[in-house]
């Protein structure tokens, strides 16, 4: 029998398969906004942390996994947005109908469910490890805080970022781990020069992370998540009329990037007004593709052409994927980077701390973010169409690199860098609406 690492072994002892209802003969491509039954090999056990205790003060279990009760079901009485379901195995196999489905999702809302992605075990391990890291004392986690200079990697304390132009603080803490530190393609000397070690106890590339980060677990997840995102990029690349490898080359492992894994935790709201506070305010993602795993509600999308925020219902065994700014710009706006946010889960899930896991695939830092109109007739036609309509196409014809785009957005979110509403506006991406047109984001 294969030997499990300690985190996997401990998790295997407490996880219990739960029989699901008989699956329908055929899963429809569009999941309705009401109740939905889906199979999952494992259902994570959960113990609510005490709502009265601050983040970082909870006693740690051996691996930090919450174990005594099942998550309450997502409610039926809140507005949800239906997402197209894409089968990753069929995408890998090159099924044209499935690629059409992916294309439809990426060009309309820019969000979709992804099933059969084959990362469930790696995801479970990352949730277990992330829980353990978040249970460290706050003063220990603060040793690895990412700072205010536009760096993303390391720990971010709750309240460090603004969620709107008024300067409301976020309520989410998270740990970002750089792909470049996990799948290094630089020499040891280059890594040391870029990331000076804070202590001699750790290798240079891991010195900015807490000591209980299990890099075998992180590496397993990052490898699989990157493979998923690159496979999706290849399919979208062909539909955009680009030469094979055109998009992948702009996300090559050989080039430094801001690609990263992220584990997030939102504390339980302590007061009724806390339930209105944003974990992350309205935004578009910085990079190209996001591979998201949620166990509780809280992710909301702003449906195109409306002012209604709608939940994305978490489905067991399904990831949520979405297009980010980088890929939207490279495609000349054909692929949609949609506005979304994170708020506390709806009742009856609100009494449980909300955790999530994401892998962000972003272009190499030196990649210029411009529409690939010279490389694709489809993208050129899209750009010509925008000009004929009198649309501003400056965002697609810039000279800004992905690294500059990322650093600007990161730096101007930080509360310590705030000078006024103009700082928040400088952190914006391709949201496509002026600030006053995004509902509930001006003061709340």
Say whether pLDDT at 100 is over 60. yes
User: Between the ranges 87-91, 393-397, 438-442, where is the mean pLDDT highest?
Assistant: 87-91
The pLDDT score that the predictor gives to residue 230 is 97
Query: What single string gives the DSSP state of each residue in 322-373?
Result: EE-HHHHHHTTTSS----EEE-PPPTTSTTS-EEEEEEEE--BTT-B----T
Say whether pLDDT at 171 is over 70. yes
Please give the residue that has the higher pLDDT: either 18 or 114: 114
Mean pLDDT value of segment 428-437: 63
The pLDDT score that the predictor gives to residue 269 is 81
The pLDDT score that the predictor gives to residue 310 is 95
Query: What single string gives the DSSP state of each residue in 381-425?
Result: HHHHHHHHTT---GGGS---BHHHHHHHHHHHHBGGG--SHHHHH
Say whether pLDDT at 45 is over 90. no
User: Of 27-41, 127-141, 152-166, 388-402, which gets the smallest average pLDDT?
Assistant: 27-41
Mean pLDDT value of segment 406-419: 94
Average pLDDT of the residues of the chain: 80
pLDDT band at 71 (very low <50, low <70, confident <90, very high): confident
The pLDDT score that the predictor gives to residue 52 is 30
pLDDT band at 284 (very low <50, low <70, confident <90, very high): very high
The pLDDT score that the predictor gives to residue 221 is 96
Do 359 and 291 form a contact (C-beta atoms < 8 A)? yes
Model confidence pLDDT, tens digit, residues 201-231: 334 455 789 989 998 999 999 999 999 999 9
Omega of the bond prior to 348 within 30 degrees of 0, cis? yes
Please give the residue that has the higher pLDDT: either 255 or 377: 377
User: Of 120-124, 127-131, 197-201, which gets the smallest average pLDDT?
Assistant: 197-201
Residue 199 token pair: 């202590």
pLDDT band at 273 (very low <50, low <70, confident <90, very high): confident
The pLDDT score that the predictor gives to residue 34 is 35
Q: For residue 32, what are the CA distances in angstroms to 27, 100, 301, 313, 344?
A: 11, 20, 15, 10, 22
Strands 111-115, 85-87: pairing kind: parallel
Model confidence pLDDT, tens digit, residues 15-31: 333 333 333 333 334 44
Say whether pLDDT at 50 is over 50. no
The pLDDT score that the predictor gives to residue 277 is 86
Model confidence pLDDT, tens digit, residues 288-322: 999 999 999 999 999 888 888 999 999 999 999 99
Say whether pLDDT at 188 is over 80. no
What span, in angstroms and rounded, lies between the C-alpha atoms of 24 and 188? Answer: 52
Say whether pLDDT at 177 is over 50. yes
What span, in angstroms and rounded, lies between the C-alpha atoms of 329 and 256? Answer: 20
Identify the structural domains of the chain with CATH numbers, from first to last: 79-437 (2.60.120.330)
pTM attached to this predicted model: 0.81
Is the backbone of residue 67 left (phi > 0), alpha (psi -120 to 50) or beta?
Answer: alpha
User: Of 162-171, 199-208, 394-403, 429-438, which gets the smallest average pLDDT?
Assistant: 199-208
Mean pLDDT value of segment 156-185: 90
Please give the residue that has the higher pLDDT: either 383 or 45: 383
Say whether pLDDT at 341 is over 80. yes
Residue 286 token pair: 């910085």
What span, in angstroms and rounded, lies between the C-alpha atoms of 207 and 241? Answer: 42
Residue 3 token pair: 């030997």
Question: How many Å from the N-terminal Cα to the C-terminal Cα in the chain?
Answer: 53
User: Of 67-71, 133-137, 401-405, which gets the smallest average pLDDT?
Assistant: 67-71
Say whether pLDDT at 254 is over 90. no
């Amino acid at each position: 029998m294969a030997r499990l690492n300690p985190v996997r072994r401990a998790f295997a002892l407490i996880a219990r398969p739960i029989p699901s209802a008989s699956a329908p003969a055929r899963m429809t491509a569009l999941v309705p906004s009401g109740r939905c039954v889906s199979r999952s090999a494992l259902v994570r056990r959960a113990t609510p942390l005490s709502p009265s205790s601050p983040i970082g003060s909870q006693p740690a279990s051996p691996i930090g996994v919450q174990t005594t009760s099942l998550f309450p079901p997502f409610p039926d009485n809140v507005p949800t947005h239906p997402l197209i379901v894409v089968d990753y195995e069929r995408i890998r196999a090159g099924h044209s109908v499935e690629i059409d489905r992916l294309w439809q999702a990426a060009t309309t809302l820019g969000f979709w469910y992804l099933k059969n992605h084959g990362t469930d075990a790696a995801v479970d391990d990352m949730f277990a490890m992330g829980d353990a890291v978040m249970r460290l004392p706050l003063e220990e986690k603060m040793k690895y805080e990412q700072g205010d200079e536009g760096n993303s990697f390391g720990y971010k304390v709750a309240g460090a970022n603004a969620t709107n132009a008024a300067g409301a603080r976020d309520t989410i803490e998270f740990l970002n781990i750089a792909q470049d530190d996990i799948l290094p393609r630089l020499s040891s000397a280059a890594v040391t020069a870029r990331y000076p070690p804070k202590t001699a106890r750790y290798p240079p590339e891991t010195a900015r992370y807490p000591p209980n980060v299990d890099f075998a677990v992180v590496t397993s997840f990052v490898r699989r998540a990157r493979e998923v995102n690159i496979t999706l990029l290849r399919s979208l690349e062909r539909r955009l009329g680009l030469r094979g490898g055109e998009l992948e080359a702009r996300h090559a492992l050989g080039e430094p990037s801001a690609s990263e894994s992220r584990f997030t935790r939102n504390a339980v709201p302590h007061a009724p007004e806390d339930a209105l506070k944003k974990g992350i305010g309205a935004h578009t993602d910085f990079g190209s593709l996001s591979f998201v795993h949620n166990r509780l509600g809280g992710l909301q999308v702003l449906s195109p052409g409306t002012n209604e925020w709608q939940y994305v219902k978490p489905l067991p065994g399904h990831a949520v994927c979405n297009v980010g700014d980088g890929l939207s710009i490279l495609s000349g706006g054909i692929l949609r980077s949609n506005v979304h946010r994170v708020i506390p889960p709806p009742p009856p899930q609100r009494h449980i701390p909300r955790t999530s896991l994401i892998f962000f695939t972003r272009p190499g830092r030196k990649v210029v973010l411009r529409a690939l109109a010279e490389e694709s007739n489809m993208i050129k036609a899209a750009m010509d169409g925008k000009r004929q309509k009198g649309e501003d196409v400056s965002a697609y014809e810039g000279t800004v690199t992905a690294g500059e785009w990322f650093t600007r957005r990161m730096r101007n979110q930080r509360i310590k860098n705030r000078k006024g509403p103009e700082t928040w506006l400088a952190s914006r991406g391709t949201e496509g609406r002026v600030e006053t047109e995004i509902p509930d984001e001006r003061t709340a």
